Amino acid sequence: MLPKNHRLRLPQDFTATVRSGARTGRRNVVLYARVRINDPQGNNRFGFIVSKAVGNAVHRNLVKRRMRALAAQIPANANGLDFVFRALPGAAEIEWDELNQQVSSGLVSVVRKAGEKHEKGP
Domains of the chain, start order: 4-114 (3.30.230.10)
Q: CA-CA distance, 32 to 23, in Å (whole number)?
A: 5
Q: What is the mean pLDDT of the chain?
A: 91
Q: Note the pTM of the prediction, 2 decimals.
A: 0.91
Q: For residue 42, is pLDDT > 90?
A: no
Q: How confident is the model at residue 75 (pLDDT cuts 50, 70, 90)?
A: confident
Q: How confident is the model at residue 16 (pLDDT cuts 50, 70, 90)?
A: very high
Quick one: pLDDT at residue 99? 96
**CA quadruple 48, 75, 40, 25: dihedral, nearest 10:** -40
